[in-house]
């Protein structure tokens, strides 16, 4: 009977020690965390699934704080519950859900703490904003300037600039919609360039007309120079005729005197 009581006493002491020292032993254990995403790359509006484990598994309810950061800073912060039996956790977020989602490399950081222990882990993935929401931007700019100066007339066609931004930051869109928008803007640019081409052609026609006018004036001046030469010849002829008349008159006078 005494031995039975002694065994019960020893068992009670061992159980009490386990209950008291168990959590202390757990708090002094080294815990590790793993974390990963379901894909290495994502494009447009897409679901990113993050999974991981805490080892050894915690014996009380706890959670992992998951922070996702990209080139523009943090784009998502949330919590994932940790299973007490397995230490596993799962978290999902939507890529391209706000203006911070721009193309680049993103870092996922997991931080856990419970029972006097902490654990952290990180992983990365690549995100491309082209073809989805996010902050992707496409800008097309066209500038044309034409200036013509002839004599006293100056014609200037001022520069025309068309700038556009497609693929908005907050509203997801498909590749087809983005390409359609770009095509529409390019069509507008082509129309502007066509208008400028027409204006330049008009200027060219005016310049050609002015050139023809100047050519006609040059021809007229040449003709006037020829008339001047003819007038000079006529003056010379008149002078010669006057001299002839004077000689004849002088001879006639001499003849008359001799006859007398």
Q: Are residue 75 and residue 123 in the same domain, yes or no?
A: yes
User: Residue 98: which domain range?
Assistant: 31-128
Q: Is 35 in the same domain as 118?
A: yes
> What three-state secondary structure class fits 219?
helix
pLDDT of residue 165: 43
| Residue 57 phi, psi dihedral angles, 5° rounding | -65, 135
The answer on 149 and 116 residing in a single domain is no
What's the rounded Cα separation, in Å, for the pair 68 and 82?
Answer: 18
Rounded Cα distance between 95 and 27, Å, is: 37
Last residue of a domain, one of 94, 128, 162: 128
In the chain, the number of structural domains is 2
**Is residue 70 a part of any domain in this protein?**
yes
pTM of the full structure: 0.44
CA distance readout (Å), 106 to 40, 47, 70, 115: 10, 14, 4, 30
Instruction: Please check whether residues 143 and 209 belong to one and the same domain.
Output: yes
Same domain, 43 and 72: yes
Residues 44 and 100 in one domain: yes
Do residues 94 and 122 share a domain?
yes
In angstroms, rounded to a whole number, what is the distance separating the alpha carbons of residues 177 and 51? Answer: 33
Give pLDDT tens digits for 135-182: 444 444 445 455 555 444 455 545 445 444 444 444 444 455 666 677
User: Rg for the chain (alpha carbons), in Å?
Assistant: 51
Looking at residue 47, its pLDDT comes to 95
* CATH code assigned at 90: 2.60.40.1930
Q: Which of 9-23, 54-68, 104-118, 236-250 has the lowest mean pLDDT?
A: 9-23
């Amino acid at each position: 009977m005494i031995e039975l009581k002694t065994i019960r006493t020893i068992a009670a002491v061992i159980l009490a020690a386990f209950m008291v020292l168990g959590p202390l032993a757990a708090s002094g254990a080294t815990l590790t965390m793993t974390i990963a995403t379901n894909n290495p790359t994502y494009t447009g509006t897409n679901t990113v699934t993050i999974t991981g484990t805490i080892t050894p598994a915690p014996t009380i309810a706890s959670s992992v704080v998951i922070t996702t950061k990209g080139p523009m800073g943090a784009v998502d912060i949330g919590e994932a519950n940790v299973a007490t039996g397995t230490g596993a956790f799962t978290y999902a977020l939507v890529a391209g859900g706000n203006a911070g989602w721009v193309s680049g490399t993103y870092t996922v950081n997991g931080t856990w703490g419970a029972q006097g222990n902490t654990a952290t882990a990180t992983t990365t993935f690549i995100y491309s904003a082209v073809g989805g929401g996010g902050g992707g931007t496409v800008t097309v700019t066209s500038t044309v300037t034409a200036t013509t100066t002839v004599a006293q007339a100056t014609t200037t066609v001022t520069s025309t600039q068309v700038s556009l931004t497609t693929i908005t930051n907050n509203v997801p869109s498909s590749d087809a919609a983005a390409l359609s928008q770009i095509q529409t803007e390019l069509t507008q640019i082509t129309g502007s360039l066509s208008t400028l081409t027409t204006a330049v052609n008009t200027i060219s026609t005016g310049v050609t007309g002015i050139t023809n006018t100047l050519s006609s004036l040059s021809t007229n001046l040449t003709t006037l120079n020829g008339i001047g030469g003819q007038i000079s010849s006529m003056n010379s002829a008149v002078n010669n005729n006057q001299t002839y008349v004077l000689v004849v008159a002088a001879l006639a006078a001499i003849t008359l005197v001799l006859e007398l």
